Structure 1
Amino acid sequence: MGPTPSSSNDRSERRKRNAKTTIQSLEPDTLCMIFALLDFFDLVRCSAVCKYWNTIINKSKLLREFYAKQKQNSTEFSNKSTCSETSLKTYLEELAMEHHRVSLQEGLINIDQWKGHSVGFNQCRMKMGLILTGKGDKVMRLWSLESYKCVEEYAVPDTVPLVDFDFDESKIVGLVGTRICIWRRNGKRSIFPSNEGTFVKGLCMRYNDPEAVVGCEDGTARLFDMYSRKCSRIIRMRAGPVTCLCLSDDQLILSGSSLGSITVSGILSDQQVATLRSRITIGGIKTLCYNACSHLVFAGSTSGYTSCWDLRTMRSLWETRVSPNVVYSVQHLRSDKSTLVVGGIDGVLRTLDQNTGQVLASCVMEGNALSSSQNTYGATEKRKGRRLSEGTPIDSIPKSARPPITCLAVGMKKVVTAHNGRHIRLWKFNS
């Protein structure tokens, strides 16, 4: 005999009462009331959470009203012209970059640290709310920035070392030994055909869909097309090994060497365009990055210098010694034309002015954990960061608070660092 209508209704009511209410369960009108209580910057951040929130905020015109008040020109802004939409987008981007700059330079620092690998790893990438770590224990792991949970894991073939890697929304691209490997986000791995994917020892890789560029020990840069699975071009960059690479938005490849110079070559013409040299001896080039917004090239050297060139004029702009020895990583937030984050062998996380090379802030981690919570791989510790005053002797700071920064990646008001240890460290800057 089946359940009576009253008993079915009772179970349905109990399920409704026991169901967890989340913010996604709220009606658009309710969300609008909540969003109306936020300040301008928090509202902008909420509009970037998901398409649903973005649609609600834009339909409610909250951003437009805030912008009109800020500019004291609500009559002109109420006109839905292309110009006003462009003005809003430009203003929001400038506001976000200013908050990011102030946070890196002056804000409080919270650090979350958790065990990511069973042995030491020294590479990390961050984008789209995800962190990819690896190089050490034959596995790459993709982590959620929100929960610090491992969402995906990718095994590296046992017989060959992982040299470099990167990722996008659909795949992981890795330089493994002398081969290019692709891991689809569904877990399937594929390797380039042997006649296309094998080359002289690769030392570094940069990936910009649809191409991966590999810097090789024989001084060449090899371009691989991700879709045709072919080596589309071999470019002679220099006489010695290519130690690091970066790509410009206008079809240029920049390569660093152990001799301290940077070679600029064209992707399409195979011709060397220029050589960037320092005005002083800065040692070998260990890391490179390029800012497409300002056309500036930044380099970190084995002697502790960070340097900058203008790619439009090929002119050296500044050189600053920030570390007693190797600078392993220099990075900036995309669209940010003001700050550069630098990490190296002394373990101090530094923020530099992109235009002058001036050190704006130097940070280390405080010694004691404030609290911890468990996840699959162990405890997540919450700590505080400390800003160093100018002239603070680095040797007076325990090395446990400043393990060498082997790699870093920059996000909005946050930096993730790798230290050749087992732990991932996320620095969160609050203005």
Structure 2
Amino acid sequence: MGLDASSSAVQPPAKKRILKYPASAQLSDLTDDTLSLIFSFLDFIDLLYCSAVCKSWNCVISTSKLFQTLYYKHKRCQSINLLEESDCSENTSKIFLKELALDSHRTALQEGSVDIYQWKGHLAWVNQCRMKMGLVLTGGNDKVMRLWSVNNYKCLEEYSVPDRARLIDFDFDESKIVSLVGTTLGIWRRNGRRNIFLSREGEIPKASCMCYVDPEAVVGCEDGRARILDMYSRKWSKILKIHDWPVTCISLTDTQMIVGGSSIGNITVSDFSSAQRVATLKSLGSAGISTLCVNPGSPLIFSGSTAGQACCWDLRTMRSVWQKRVSPNVIYSMNHLRDHPSVLVMGGIDGVLRAVDETSGKILSSCILNQDTSGSKRAEASNKLSRKKGSRITEDTRLELMPKALRPSITSLAVGFRKVVTIHDDNYIRVWKFRI
């Protein structure tokens, strides 16, 4: 059948509808009560995002008990009186927000599904990682440190290490990277590629670890000493004898205490100002301390040993809270969410990522890689970003019967909100994202 002229003619494009009022004006017409009603349909994460859009939305969310309501729903609390009597101040909303965040983080690590994003970020073995502010810093034997975005997994900056030296340890903040390189300490500026070596080569004999809290950097050495450098004057302010054996890991607390682990299994606590040893904490057995975890917001410190034993001490009493063997062999790294200790995450030579209750030492969850999927093999072959799934296993799982490819050794890890970054002996960087 033929088409008549009217049907075959080219129709003029439809005119675009022009809003009489701009969108911003329409949004501003919504009352606080209307906004509260709309926001009440959102979950915790979406509500958090909305609170960061503008001051007016933040004010509505903070004063409308939305976080409190979600908190009580999450806790299955049916007491209406508690909700009615709770304060609507901004400080109260922040308390409920913190509680919701901690519960969400813990639940995700313990029960949520696991997506793993992996890529090879270095040419040679990588053995260190740190994570802050949505950024991950990695480094190893290829003489370069790389700063990655944890959201899009892209390399943002590179920092070269001198060929003559070995990268031993590092940490970073908003403006700089502090690194222990061979027998020297150096700073790499974040806003440029200039590096400054704070100490002369050879001033730190047989260094094994470091940490820093502005303006001091503390270096642990194999001679049992901790050397403290003022990063602004570039002078060594103190040298403390904290162990009779090599120092294997070291950290600073917010109360100016130096915590150092040794190769024979003891942990010492020394006062920074007086340079005196305050206490010696002894763990069960004689296995060396391989990692330490100190959180500025908590009096508890945690350690992992070469025999797979995890320990917790209270710095207020200098006594053990719990000691438990959580792994059949070496624990290389442990960490938890900064300033919000709830769940301790640890990994080691057996390649299992474990979430442990910090107050009891109970293992809450154990995760490994899922079986290889054909869709990611091409990306793996070209060293591009690939996505895998994580699997949860039980404590009685016989690891020796599982393929080693599913549990490559975890040499270092860092913990963020509902995510964990791990470094492995197969040269991969992996970001584990936990979803409820």
TM range (shorter): 0.7 to 0.9
Distance 1:285 1:69, change over 3 A: closer
How far has the Cα of 1:370 moved from its partner?
6.8
Match of 1:187 in 2: 193
Which aligned pairs between 1:245-324 and structure 2 lie closer than 5 A?
245-278=250-283, 280-281=284-285, 283-324=287-328
Match of 1:161 in 2: 166
Asked if structure 2 preserves the Cα contact closer than 8 Å seen for 1:245 and 1:253, the reply is yes
* Distance in 1 of aligned mates of 2:69 and 2:323: 42
* 1:104 partnered with 2:109: yes
How far has the Cα of 1:193 moved from its partner?
4.5
**1:136-181 deviations in whole A, cap 9, x for unaligned?**
1000000011111100000000001011001001011100011111
Match of 1:213 in 2: 218
Match of 1:353 in 2: 357
Match of 2:8 in 1: none
* Distance in 1 of aligned mates of 2:256 and 2:353: 32
Distance 1:378 1:47, change over 3 A: farther
* 1:39 partnered with 2:36: no
* Distance in 1 of aligned mates of 2:164 and 2:433: 38
The secondary structure found in structure 1 opposite 2:410 is coil
Distance 1:54 1:288, change over 3 A: farther
Match of 1:57 in 2: 57
How far has the Cα of 1:339 moved from its partner?
1.0
How far has the Cα of 1:62 moved from its partner?
2.0
How far has the Cα of 1:198 moved from its partner?
2.0
How far has the Cα of 1:320 moved from its partner?
1.4
> Bigger shift: 268-277 or 280-289?
280-289
**1:302-341 deviations in whole A, cap 9, x for unaligned?**
1111111111111112111122211101111123333110
Q: Kindly provide the amino acid, as one letter, of the partner of residue 405 in structure 2.
A: S
How far has the Cα of 1:103 moved from its partner?
0.6
Gaps of 5+ in 2: 1-15, 17-22, 73-79
Asked if structure 2 preserves the Cα contact closer than 8 Å seen for 1:215 and 1:245, the reply is yes
Q: Kindly provide the amino acid, as one letter, of the partner of residue 189 in structure 1.
A: N
Asked if structure 2 preserves the Cα contact closer than 8 Å seen for 1:417 and 1:424, the reply is yes
Gaps of 5+ in 1: 1-16, 18-25, 79-83
Distance 1:111 1:370, change over 3 A: farther
* 1:146 partnered with 2:151: yes
**1:262-300 deviations in whole A, cap 9, x for unaligned?**
01001001010000012x215010100113333111100
Match of 2:412 in 1: 407
* 1:172 partnered with 2:177: yes
Match of 1:332 in 2: 336
Asked if structure 1 preserves the Cα contact closer than 8 Å seen for 2:331 and 2:349, the reply is yes
Match of 1:199 in 2: 204
* Distance in 2 of aligned mates of 1:270 and 1:91: 41
Distance 1:140 1:30, change over 3 A: farther
Q: Kindly provide the amino acid, as one letter, of the partner of residue 67 in structure 2.
A: Y
Max Rg structure: 2
How far has the Cα of 1:86 moved from its partner?
2.0
The secondary structure found in structure 2 opposite 1:143 is strand
Which residue of the other structure, out of 240, 250, 269, is the alignment partner of 2:245?
Answer: 240
Distance 1:374 1:47, change over 3 A: farther
Aligned residues: 394
* Distance in 2 of aligned mates of 1:230 and 1:133: 28
* 1:380 partnered with 2:379: no
Which residue of the other structure, out of 94, 98, 107, is the alignment partner of 1:93?
Answer: 98
Match of 2:77 in 1: none
* 1:224 partnered with 2:223: no
* Distance in 2 of aligned mates of 1:344 and 1:249: 27
Asked if structure 1 preserves the Cα contact closer than 8 Å seen for 2:68 and 2:96, the reply is no
Match of 1:6 in 2: none
* Distance in 2 of aligned mates of 1:74 and 1:258: 56
* Distance in 2 of aligned mates of 1:118 and 1:255: 32
* Distance in 2 of aligned mates of 1:389 and 1:192: 48
Distance 1:244 1:74, change over 3 A: same
How far has the Cα of 1:74 moved from its partner?
6.2
**1:77-131 deviations in whole A, cap 9, x for unaligned?**
45xxxxx222211111111011000111111111000111111101111110100
Distance 1:118 1:90, change over 3 A: same
* Distance in 1 of aligned mates of 2:214 and 2:25: 37
Distance 1:95 1:284, change over 3 A: same
The secondary structure found in structure 2 opposite 1:233 is strand
How far has the Cα of 1:56 moved from its partner?
5.1
Distance 1:253 1:47, change over 3 A: farther
Which residue of the other structure, out of 111, 115, 123, is the alignment partner of 1:118?
Answer: 123
Q: Alignment identity in percent?
A: 51
Match of 2:142 in 1: 137
Distance 1:192 1:390, change over 3 A: closer
> Bigger shift: 243-252 or 222-231?
222-231
* Distance in 1 of aligned mates of 2:119 and 2:94: 36
* Distance in 1 of aligned mates of 2:315 and 2:366: 28
Asked if structure 1 preserves the Cα contact closer than 8 Å seen for 2:184 and 2:199, the reply is no
Asked if structure 2 preserves the Cα contact closer than 8 Å seen for 1:371 and 1:383, the reply is no
Asked if structure 1 preserves the Cα contact closer than 8 Å seen for 2:333 and 2:411, the reply is yes
How far has the Cα of 1:27 moved from its partner?
5.2
**1:365-400 deviations in whole A, cap 9, x for unaligned?**
11224745979x841111100000231111121110
The secondary structure found in structure 2 opposite 1:110 is strand
